[in-house]
Amino acid sequence: MSTVKRRSLKTRVTLFTLVIFLIGVLVLALYGKGIVRESVLGLMGEQQFFSASVIASGIDQELDDRLRAIESISKTLSPAVAGNTKELQAVLEQRPILKEIFNAGSFVTDIDGVAMASFPRSTEQNDVSLLNMSVIASAIRNGKTSVGQFIQSKNTRVPMIGMATPIRDSQGKLIGVLVGLTDLNKANFLEKFASNYYGKSGGYLFFSTQHRLAVAGGDKGGITENHSFDEPNPLIDSFFQGKEGYGVATNSSGVEVLASAKSISPTGWFVVLTLSTDEALAPFHAARKQMLLVTIILAALGGGLIWLMLRHELAPTLAAVQTLATQSKSDLPPQPLAIVQQDEIGDLIAGFNRLLTTLNQREESLRAAEAELRIAAVAFESQDGMVITDSSGKILRVNKSFTEITGYSAEEAIGQTPALLKSGRHDAQFYAEMWERIHRTGSWQGEIWDKRKNGEIYPKWLSITAVKPDDGAVTHYVGSQIDITERKATEDAIRELAFFDALTKLPNRRLLNDRLSQSMAASKRSGHYCALMFLDLDNFKPLNDEHGHAVGDLLLIEAANRIKSCVREMDTVARFGGDEFVVILNELNSDKPESTSQAGIVADKIRSALSTPYRLAIRSDGKSDSTVEHHCTASIGVVMFINHDASHDDILRWADAAMYHAKDAGRNSIRFFDTKA
């Protein structure tokens, strides 16, 4: 049976350790999953957005080359436009570069938008003239080269891009427009960008913001047909509104994708790259599987090693248990146990041996207990409040001082337990630790808060001693208490003088430095910004000069109250000296612009509160009371800090400098200090 128990103990400890280890790994995995996922997607998004920017830059360059070419050709067509249509047709056909850069052809219109000639001749002029009317109208109206939005032929519904440039005569007068068309269903300059898809699920789309159309894209099938995006899609909608960047969204097929958008400046288009998040996170998922396998292997290995270690370490203890079991069956006095090794187990056996020696001193212990009771009886007449209970804690006797301190008479206290005096300020853990100390050492003393009969909560110094006879069982408890209300009041007053301003009751410089240290440490742990404001009252000295310091003190008290009403309980308002105040705003936001905005709102709230007129009552001996209305604004300097390497003095100096900038700007204003300056 003992062998089963020994193995059971080792097994339980081993399993318990493994469970703690696995729970820790699981919690770490669940906690890290979201963080790592966001980090990976963020990194992939930045790379994807860079690729989109490169593609947009390439398309922009291609468009610029074509615009330069068509502008160059338009300068040579002026005499032909002024001539007849045949001459213009002949001149147009002598420009083969138009066919190279415009796969859907090109044509020339007069200033009314009527086609005069086209190249190649097979171009359907009537249809072309209509579908490019917005491009032609823009070139005629503005007199500048323009690139049209994605358009569609009315007959074939083929997506096209139109470019138009004005034709002028020798006097600079507009006489026509040269137009070039690119058919997106044929080989064109977008193909080399659209075909550069990546990954198994990656692709590209080119969007027209004017028509909410995706007219070209890159995937395994090449350029796609145009698609309308009339259905709401938060990510695509943000792209249509001009937002650039990357994000995660669900596409029309219900697949979560990582998408990046970059605008193509001269066209009103933008290019979008997509990649499913499953593919983007594939390396992360593979690494997690490997980590899980390694964790299982390490857990199994660790469990075996722990079991072997426990078997070795517990061997002396198990041997001692067997020896004690054998001695318990004998009538002979217990003998000291052999100490095999000098470690914690050896210390435990040595302690047990000492306990055996103590058992032989019962008579002496009994005499000592009797002497202790006599001492307690003498002390019972002392000025301290004394109480004696039985072993269960029931009060047997109290003295006069106890009645004076607690308000309970002897008749009211006897038969009750000391719980009668509980104030509610201490939790169960406090009392558990106190009684654990009494049971372990035989006594306890310390400061405790109790409640008098009239309900008043008061502090006292309590000493409790357990009375034990020779057999070690507790028979009585003796308690001695001293009322330390006056001493605590004195300590609180000293602390108030040391850390708080006597006039405004705000923290002084010493406590401000401590609060600033706490704010800097909290900012380092949480990654959230904090702000420190340095305030100086702008029109305070004239009030002192005219009405005296007593009235000035009233204004400082009112100003302190107004500042405190503008901040949260977790923030700190301190009087720095004279008419200067300091405010610390804690736990703002991890984003600096957002935190700066929050600090600015609070600073403006304080500035507005301080600028409200003050009505101060003046009381003079022998005279009737009067009221003074005073206008006093404040100049406020603000500095933001997070996980800062600077000292307290640096942060205060920066805020002070910003405050002086506010004064130089005309007072009653707020200025932020730029730590990068």
User: One-letter amino acid identity for 201?
Assistant: S
User: Percent of the chain beyond pLDDT 70?
Assistant: 72
- Whether the model clears a pTM of 0.75, i.e. scores above it, the answer is no
CA distances from 175 to 111, 165, 560 (A): 6, 11, 76
Which range has the worst mean pLDDT, 427-441, 456-470, 508-522?
456-470
The 10s digit of each residue's pLDDT in 356-410 is 666 655 555 545 455 455 545 555 555 678 888 988 889 988 888 888 888 898 8
Which range has the worst mean pLDDT, 48-62, 362-376, 532-546?
362-376
* Look-up of token digits 């109480």: 387
pLDDT at 620: 67
Bridge partners (DSSP) listed for residue 375 = none
pLDDT at 178: 85
Instruction: Give 158 or 38, the one with higher predicted confidence.
Output: 38
**Is residue 108 within 8 Å of residue 117, measured between CB atoms?**
yes
Residue 46, helix vs strand vs coil: helix
Residue 313, helix vs strand vs coil: helix
Where residue 226 falls among pLDDT bands split at 50, 70, 90? very low
pLDDT at 128: 45
CATH T-level assignment (fold) for domain 75-183 = Beta-Lactamase (3.30.450)
Bridge partners (DSSP) listed for residue 272 = 205, 261
Mean pLDDT of 221-238: 53
Asked if the model's pLDDT at residue 218 lies above 70, the reply is no
Instruction: Give 521 or 10, the one with higher predicted confidence.
Output: 521
**Is residue 109 within 8 Å of residue 132, measured between CB atoms?**
no
pLDDT at 129: 45
Mean pLDDT of 43-59: 81
Mean pLDDT of the chain: 78
Bridge partners (DSSP) listed for residue 219 = 222
590: tokens are: 């991890």
189: tokens are: 């300059």
Mean pLDDT of 466-473: 73
Asked if the model's pLDDT at residue 184 lies above 90, the reply is no
Distance CA 566, CA 535 (A): 14
**Is residue 327 within 8 Å of residue 335, measured between CB atoms?**
yes
Distance CA 105, CA 128 (A): 10
CA distances from 374 to 68, 130, 234, 367 (A): 115, 120, 86, 11
The 10s digit of each residue's pLDDT in 619-668 is 766 566 778 888 899 999 999 998 877 888 899 999 999 999 999 988 99
The 10s digit of each residue's pLDDT in 283-323 is 767 777 777 777 788 777 877 777 677 666 666 676 666 67
**Is residue 273 within 8 Å of residue 199, measured between CB atoms?**
no
Asked if the model's pLDDT at residue 597 lies above 70, the reply is yes
Task: Compute the residue count for the chain.
Answer: 677
Mean pLDDT of 547-573: 90
Which range has the worst mean pLDDT, 509-518, 566-575, 613-622?
613-622
Residue 415, helix vs strand vs coil: coil
Which of 193, 321, 200 lies closest to 269, judged by CA? 193
CATH top class, domain 363-489: alpha beta
Of 124-138, 262-276, 497-511, which one has max mean pLDDT?
Answer: 497-511
Distance CA 457, CA 475 (A): 30
For residues 565-579, one letter each, b for 16 or more C-beta atoms within 10 angstroms of the residue's C-beta and e for the rest, the string is ebbeeebbbbbbeeb
For residues 154-191, one letter each, b for 16 or more C-beta atoms within 10 angstroms of the residue's C-beta and e for the rest, the string is eeeebbbbbbbbbbbeeeeeebbbbbbbbbbbeebbbe
Residue 68, helix vs strand vs coil: helix
Question: What's 418's DSSP letter?
Answer: G
pLDDT at 127: 43
Q: Name all contacts of 262-268 with Cβ < 8 Å and 24+ positions apart.
A: 262/49, 262/52, 262/53, 262/55, 262/56, 263/56, 264/56, 264/59, 264/60, 264/63, 265/60, 266/60, 266/63, 266/64, 266/67, 266/147, 267/63, 267/147, 267/149, 268/149, 268/208, 268/209, 268/210
Which range has the worst mean pLDDT, 185-194, 404-413, 490-499, 500-509?
490-499
**Is residue 76 within 8 Å of residue 87, measured between CB atoms?**
no
Distance CA 616, CA 626 (A): 8
540: tokens are: 């305070």
**Is residue 164 within 8 Å of residue 136, measured between CB atoms?**
yes
Distance CA 287, CA 241 (A): 38
Mean pLDDT of 528-539: 93
Mean pLDDT of 503-530: 90
Where residue 70 falls among pLDDT bands split at 50, 70, 90? confident
Where residue 138 falls among pLDDT bands split at 50, 70, 90? confident
**Is residue 634 within 8 Å of residue 609, measured between CB atoms?**
no
Mean pLDDT of 474-503: 76
Region for residue 104 given its phi and psi (left: phi exceeds 0; alpha: psi -120 to 50; beta: otherwise): alpha
CA distances from 573 to 62, 390, 538 (A): 61, 53, 18
Give 584: exposed, middle or buried? Use CB within 10 Å, 0-12, 13-18, 19+. Answer: buried
Distance CA 52, CA 204 (A): 9
**Is residue 388 within 8 Å of residue 476, measured between CB atoms?**
yes
Distance CA 397, CA 499 (A): 44
Distance CA 420, CA 412 (A): 10
pLDDT at 549: 79
Residue 530, helix vs strand vs coil: strand
Distance CA 356, CA 361 (A): 10
120 cis-preceded (ω within 30 degrees of 0): yes
Asked if the model's pLDDT at residue 131 lies above 50, the reply is no
Instruction: Give 506 or 92, the one with higher predicted confidence.
Output: 506
Same fold, 363-489 and 500-672: no
Distance CA 403, CA 399 (A): 7
pLDDT at 362: 55
pLDDT at 662: 93
Instruction: Give 16 or 660, the one with higher predicted confidence.
Output: 660
Which of 610, 630, 503, 530 lies closest to 564, judged by CA? 610
CATH T-level assignment (fold) for domain 500-672 = Alpha-Beta Plaits (3.30.70)
* Look-up of token digits 């001082």: 401
pLDDT at 618: 79
Of 78-87, 111-120, 348-357, 380-389, which one has max mean pLDDT?
Answer: 111-120
Domain boundaries, given as residue ranges, for the chain = 75-183, 363-489, 500-672
Which of 654, 515, 508 lies closest to 581, judged by CA? 508
Which range has the worst mean pLDDT, 21-30, 405-414, 518-527?
21-30
User: Percent of the chain beyond pLDDT 90?
Assistant: 16
Asked if the model's pLDDT at residue 489 lies above 80, the reply is no
Which range has the worst mean pLDDT, 193-197, 223-227, 407-411, 595-599?
223-227
Distance CA 81, CA 175 (A): 7
Asked if the model's pLDDT at residue 126 lies above 50, the reply is no
